[in-house]
Amino acid sequence: MECPVAATRRSALSAAAAILLFSLGCSTDKPSFTEAADANPLSTQNALDVSVSLAPEVRGAESVIAHVTVLNRSGSTVDVPESQLPSEDLETQQFVVLRDGERVSYEGPHIKRGPSTGDAIISIAPGATYSYDIELSRAYDLSRDGRYSVVFESRDSRAQTVMRSARQEVRLYGRAALATSGIANRTLSALTSQISYSRCTTTQQTDIRAALAQAETYAINSRSYMAANNLGARYTWWFGAVTTANASRVLANFTAIADAFATKPITVDCGCKKRYFAYVYPAQPYTIYVCSSFWSAPLAGTDSRGGTLIHEMSHFNVVASTDDWAYGQTAARQLVVDGKISQAIDNADSHEYFAENTPARQ
């Protein structure tokens, strides 16, 4: 939906990778940004180490580059989902960045990913080192002077931290305004309810119109269910026990999603060839980039085209500003089982699966 949904949905890992994903004494709750920046590096004794290095200072509008190294210092090959390794394309929020102790906003893509496949697993041989040069200024707001701290931190599909580096610092001077993502902001039509297309064939445009109609139906149905204030298993399965505050937020989210599909100028870009479903830039409404898995998905039902558009629309800051805490029905449900209700209510896939309601719950 995350938006370009931060780990693969399902990953069949080797035993060595299982060692990697085990974290002694680590909470599965997302730490505060200050806690994360001060936390110790996370790696198991015989698996992968991740480190970050930065220039001590950067002046003017020069790019801020993080050099990230992943080392397998075990005696066995470690298989890792590609989405948990550093991404030079900044395809997800993998860094905790603070400026003078305050959180720096992430302005990169939020992606809905498809099921894990064999080519999504990276095998790292014993002693092998993988290195990445990542331009942080493409996706994080580094437009102000100050002292910045940077930590690499990747999560699995259940929002559990699986790799974390030590904190590194850089001082920025004379910064210019940040241009995020490398994609120019689009000027959308002022006409409401208008659909625009970019790099889409005639057949794709027909499929997109059907998917948008299905997404609007999902959003209206979800809003009506929430407004009736007779919340049952359909709500509690995805969002936990009913409280006035939580139910009000979910209702507000679906009200905003339904309004966006009904009245906002939406642009759909078909140029993405990656194996995701879709992605968005939350600060750039209402442009949705659909990718290869979108076209093979059913119109309705679990992980459908209509549901994908619900997921992506929920990410926009001016709509519901959701995040990607968990991917897939099993992981989204587990947020509730584990008592992570605030994450469930903020999770894009949870909104999608509530809207798709497959299997149906009352």
Question: Could you list the active site residues?
Answer: 312
**What would the two tokens of residue 8 be?**
């693969």
Q: Which residues contact 129 (CB under 8 A, 6 or more apart)?
A: 69, 70, 71, 72
Contact, 350 vs 332, CB < 8 A? yes
Residue 253 tokens read as 């989210």
Q: How far apart are CA 231 and CA 240, in angstroms?
A: 11
CA dihedral 296, 297, 298, 304 (to 10 degrees): -160
No. of helices (H) and no. of strands (E), the chain: 10, 16
Question: For residue 328, which of 13, 6, 10, 4 has the smallest C-alpha distance?
Answer: 10
CA distance 162 to 26: 10
CA–CA distance, 257 with 149 (Å, rounded to integer): 35
Q: Which of 276, 258, 252 is nearest to 218 (CA)?
A: 258
359 preceded by a cis bond (ω within 30 of 0):
yes
Paired residues of 57 in beta bridges: 171
Residue 197, strand partner residues: 268
Q: Using the structure block, give the residue that is written with the tokens 């950067």.
A: 58
